[in-house]
């Protein structure tokens, strides 16, 4: 089957419900209200962008890209999140969303796009490899709650 050419556009607050559903498909459940609040916060920032892919007028995937600055690596873009509806995986939506993130990063004057991926997602590793990403390292992520209610 030939890859799809989905309609891509910046995410809107009305997309929050579908974005929440898709996040849940990938194992990151988020209430639609929380996604809505986060989308509203991102609207005010110029350093991040969320794109959605539409199939038959419905959000079938999303990608979030943002600027990242660290002392050791300098400024670069990071693909913060990418999810495609399980019904549409393998159809080219993910590649189209990554291309939109790359174009945004270039437009920001950034020369590098990085993405972090769970070590257990071997299919996703192949996906990114096929798009020209090279593995840099494997790591362990630690998290500690700070006692702040959100």
d(Cα 121, Cα 49) in Å, to the nearest integer? 24
Strand residue runs (E) in the chain: 7-10, 48-55, 58-70, 74-84, 113-115
Is 21 a residue whose pLDDT tops 80? yes
Q: What is the predicted pLDDT for the residue at 148?
A: 86
User: Whose CA is closest to 10, among 36, 37, 48?
Assistant: 48
Q: What is the predicted pLDDT for the residue at 9?
A: 96
Each residue of 61-106: pLDDT tens digit? Answer: 999 999 999 999 899 999 999 999 999 999 999 999 999 999 999 9
Q: What is the predicted pLDDT for the residue at 3?
A: 57
Q: For residue 138, count CB atoms less than 10 angstroms from its CB and return exposed for 0-12, middle for 13-18, buried for 19 or more.
A: exposed
Across residues 35-50, what is the average pLDDT? 92
CATH superfamily ID and name for 7-130: Gcn5-related N-acetyltransferase (GNAT) (3.40.630.30)
């Amino acid at each position: 089957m030939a890859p799809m050419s989905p309609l891509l556009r910046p995410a809107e607050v009305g997309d929050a419900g579908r974005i929440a559903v898709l996040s849940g498909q990938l194992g990151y459940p988020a209430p639609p209200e929380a996604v809505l609040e986060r989308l509203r916060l991102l609207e005010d920032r110029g350093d991040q962008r969320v794109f959605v892919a539409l199939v038959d007028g419905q959000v079938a995937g999303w990608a979030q890209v943002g600027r990242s600055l660290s002392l050791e690596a300098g400024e670069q873009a990071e693909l913060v999140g990418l999810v495609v509806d399980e019904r549409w995986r393998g159809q080219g939506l993910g590649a189209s969303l990554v291309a939109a993130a790359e174009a945004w990063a270039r437009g920001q004057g950034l020369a590098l796009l990085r993405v972090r991926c769970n070590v257990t997602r071997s299919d996703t590793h192949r996906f990114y490899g096929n798009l020209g990403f090279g593995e840099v390292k494997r790591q362990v992520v630690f998290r500690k709650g700070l006692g702040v209610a959100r």
